[in-house]
Amino acid sequence: NTVMVGAHLDSVLEGPGINDNGSGTAAILETAIQMRKVRPQNTVRFAFWGAEEAGLVGSTDYVETRTEEELAQIKLYLNFDMLGSPNYANFVYDGDGSDFGLPGPDGSADIEALFGDFYESRGEAYEGTEIDFRSDYGAFFDFGIPFGGLFSGAEDPKSPEQAAAYGGTAGEPFDPCYHSACDTYDNVSLHALAVNADSV
């Protein structure tokens, strides 16, 4: 039984990509380093995807070039893309479909619930985010592999209700430097990254 964990390595040409997606890459790399101390019962496979910004190229190629037997061994896929947005919210993919109407493959609801339990244990607000196929979970979803993951927001504006829950500025994008030259180290909320990396 294999648990896959993935984040994309590339950024858009216009920006250095420290939040998108240096933040997700750093979180899973640190997790891999920490896992030297444990002996999991199941296989954990870390994937550092290429060419996500060019159309989910690396992850799609990976899924499409596995045999059915190899894919059947993957019991779930976890995706981490943009974990340190400066005007962040704590988004968990809507695995049960209760927020946006499209559930993930069977088992995705359990993954969503597990992440929710983590945020509740920390006293942190969180909410569902739509399965919109804009990140590397898409090909896993299409094959029917349960998936989940975290996201701290991109170009959409933060609502007044979200500003009340998380702080930050209502009406401004979660990441004002999304796909821009200013996506540098200064564009990362260290609080959001620390909490989300612990969730990973």
| Most distant CA atoms of the chain, gap in Å | 48
> Which H/E stretch holds residue 71?
helix 68-72
The answer for residues whose C-beta is within 8 angstroms of residue 44's C-beta and 6 or more apart is: 2, 3, 4, 5, 35
- Annotation says 155 is catalytic: no
Where are any strands of DSSP class E within the chain?
2-8, 43-49, 74-80, 91-93, 127-129, 147-151
Give which of 18, 54, 27, 43 is closest to 136, Cα–Cα: 54
CA distance 148 to 126: 14
CB 148 within 8 A of CB 92: yes
CA distance 186 to 90: 19
CA distances from 107 to 69, 83, 97, 150 (A): 19, 23, 12, 16
Q: Which of 14, 52, 68, 120 is catalytic?
A: 52
Which are the catalytic amino acids?
52
